[in-house]
Amino acid sequence: MTAAGPDGPGTAEPGGGGPGRRAIAVLAGTAGLAFLADQSTKHLALATLDDRDPVRLLGGTVHLTLTRNSGAAFSLGADHTWIFSVITLAVVGWIGWMALRLRSVPWGLSLGLVLGGAFGNLADRIFRAPGYFVGHVVDMVSLFDPYGRVWPVFNLADSVLVCGVVLAVVLELTGRQRDGTRLRGAGSAPAAGSPKEPTDGPRRRETTSVEDQRETTDVEQRERA
C-alpha cells in the first residue's frame, strides 16, 4: 500500500497510521531514561571522583576523571555557555514540534536520545555553579588519556545525543520518514512478479526491419512469376 505523507510519496510501514502514541511513548521513555542515567552518573562522579587521581579502566582505554566543562558537548565553545543554553532550548522546542506528527518508532527512539542528552547537559547549565544558564557541565569519561589530550572528556549525555544523531542519519539514508512512511529509492529493484521492461529494443527493431525486407522480396518474386 502506498501513502503520500508530508515528506512526499512513499510506502506506509506496518503500524504507521493512528495517532502515533507508541512513537511518542518511545520518545518520552527514551528521553526520560537517558536523562536519569546521565544525572545518576554525574552524581556518582561528583561523589567518588572529586579530588582524586583519574581511574584507569580497560588497560588504559578508558579513564574516569572529573572535569567541569563550561562549553558544549565535548568541551567545545567554553567561553559561550549561555549561547549553548539558548541553542539547547531551541533544539528541545524543535523536537517538540517534530513530535506533533511523529508516527515512526525508530524516529521516536532517535529523537528521544537527542532530547535526553540535550536535557542532561541543559540541566547542568541551568542549575550548577557558577550560575543559572552559565553552569558548568559535569564530564567524567576520557579515552586513551586521563586528561582528554587524545579525545575530549565527555559524559553520558554527550554519548546518547551523538547516538541519536547517528540513528537519525541512518533513518534518513534508508528513506524512513517521521510520519511512518518509507520513501522508495530511485534505484530500488522492481517488486517480485512485476513485468520487466524490454531491454532489447534496438535488436527488436533490427529484426523487424529484416523481416520487412524478406516480405518485400517475396512479393516482388510473385509479381515476376
Count of positions (residues) in the chain: 225
Exactly one of 145, 158, 179, 218 is catalytic; name it: 158
Is there a contact between 105 and 152 (Cβ–Cβ < 8 Å)?
no
Out of 50, 79, 124, 139, the active site residue is 139
User: pLDDT for 153-198, tens place per residue?
Assistant: 999 999 999 999 999 999 999 999 999 899 876 445 555 555 555 5
Which tens digits make up the pLDDT trace of 102-121?
999 999 999 999 999 999 99
CB 85 within 8 A of CB 122: yes
Active site residue 139: yes
Report residue 146 CA to chain centroid gap: 30
So where are the chain's domains? 18-182
Q: Is 200 a catalytic residue?
A: no
Least confident of 91-100, 110-119, 129-138, 205-214: 205-214
Q: What is the pTM of this model?
A: 0.72
